[in-house]
């Protein structure tokens, strides 16, 4: 089977590509930035195709002759431009799904996010919980989900996968990366904890997330037309996360807890500085306070039951591997 993976040169993409190659699939990987084809060739991909979700011709060319599409590429940032969320995540996904359907691709697996569900009032949420995305990124992923699902009546054999917070070796530009490295270097998030630290957060190692996509592809008899949450099988309080980081990094967790209103005041200056230098670090935005003071906890029972999906990493073992990798490349002391 020939499988097209969009965003193949990205963090999650590299794990999905490796999983497919290990199972003997013929992988076609897409990239957008010139030179990224080298990354794909190093992974073992024989065919690397340059594709831009804003360029219809490149999209139509990319899907020619493939049997399945795993769509990972996205405008992934929490502090981006509203028009780009719509153009890339919604309209780009629609364009790709239509092209895949027209070209005869038998499967379309869309990478959404638990951010399409947003914060949870009564954790854990599951696939039937009414979505309440908090950020524009999550809203765009939810809208893209609905676009994909609406094409099921036209014959698109789709599956939607919602990974929770991703982490793992290779991650150099994401919330988990910023948080881990900030803590390890003695940054602001090693000094202060917002609120009581009892809100829940849930993660998934990229290798486990990749397995979710592979299982959805191989179990098309049950996964077609379905949505699955892919994550570790439990959530953690921020207090628990800090305890694990203390054990693995050797730095004491924050000694001071500050109320949300004060955290927003302090972050005002960090946000101004980050914006002036063109940064996109979500942890330096005031809206992060709203994120960490709400629950983000989700059930994976449906994926376990229908896909036989069982994560192999708990947060401690996954962070140990990730931190060792960060140290090996000099990202943290």
Query: Which residues belong to the active site?
Result: 141
Query: Cβ contacts of residue 22 below 8 Å, gap of 6+?
Result: none
44: left (phi over 0), alpha (psi -120 to 50) or beta: left
Joined tokens for residue 142: 């939810």
Rounded distance between C-alpha atoms, residue 134 and residue 13, angstroms:
25
Q: What are phi and psi of 128, to 5 degrees?
A: -95, -5
Query: Cβ contacts of residue 35 below 8 Å, gap of 6+?
Result: none
Which H or E element spans position 143? Answer: helix 136-150
Which H or E element spans position 291? Answer: helix 287-292
**CA–CA–CA angle 247, 300, 208 (5° rounding):** 55
How is 166-233 classified by DSSP, letter by letter?
Answer: EESTT--SSHHHHHHHHHHTT-GGGTEEETTS-SEE-EEEHHHHHHHHHHHHHTHHHHTTEEEEES-S
């Amino acid at each position: 089977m020939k499988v097209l993976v969009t965003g193949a040169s990205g963090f999650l993409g590299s794990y999905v590509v490796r999983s497919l190659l290990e199972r003997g699939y013929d992988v076609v990987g897409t990239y957008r930035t010139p030179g990224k084809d080298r990354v794909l060739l190093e992974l073992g991909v024989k065919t690397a195709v340059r594709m831009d979700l804003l360029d219809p011709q490149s999209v139509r060319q990319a899907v020619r002759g493939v049997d399945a599409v795993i769509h990972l590429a996205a405008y992934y940032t929490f502090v981006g431009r509203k028009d780009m969320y719509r153009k890339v995540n919604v309209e780009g996904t629609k364009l790709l799904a239509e092209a895949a359907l027209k070209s005869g691709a038998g499967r379309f697996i869309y990478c959404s996010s638990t951010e399409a569900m947003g914060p949870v009032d009564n954790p854990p949420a599951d696939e039937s919980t009414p979505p309440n995305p908090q950020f524009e990124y999550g809203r765009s992923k939810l809208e893209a989900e609905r676009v994909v699902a609406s094409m099921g009546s036209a014959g698109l054999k789709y599956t939607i996968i919602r990974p929770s917070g991703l982490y793992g070796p290779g991650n150099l530009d994401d919330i988990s990366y910023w948080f881990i490295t900030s803590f390890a270097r003695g940054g602001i998030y090693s000094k202060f904890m917002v609120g009581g630290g009892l809100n829940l957060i849930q993660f998934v190692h990229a290798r486990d997330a990749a397995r979710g996509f592979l299982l959805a592809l191989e179990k098309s008899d049950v996964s077609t037309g379905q949505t699955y949450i892919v994550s570790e099988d439990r959530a953690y309080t921020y207090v628990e996360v800090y305890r694990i980081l203390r054990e693995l990094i050797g730095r004491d967790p924050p000694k001071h807890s500050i109320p949300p209103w004060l955290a927003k005041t302090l972050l005002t200056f960090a946000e101004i500085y980050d914006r002036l230098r063109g940064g996109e670090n979500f942890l330096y935005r005031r809206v992060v306070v709203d994120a960490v003071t709400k629950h983000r906890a989700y059930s994976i029972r449906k994926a376990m039951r229908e896909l036989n999906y069982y994560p192999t990493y708990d947060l401690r073992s996954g962070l140990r591997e990730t931190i060792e990798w960060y140290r090996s490349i000099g990202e943290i002391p």
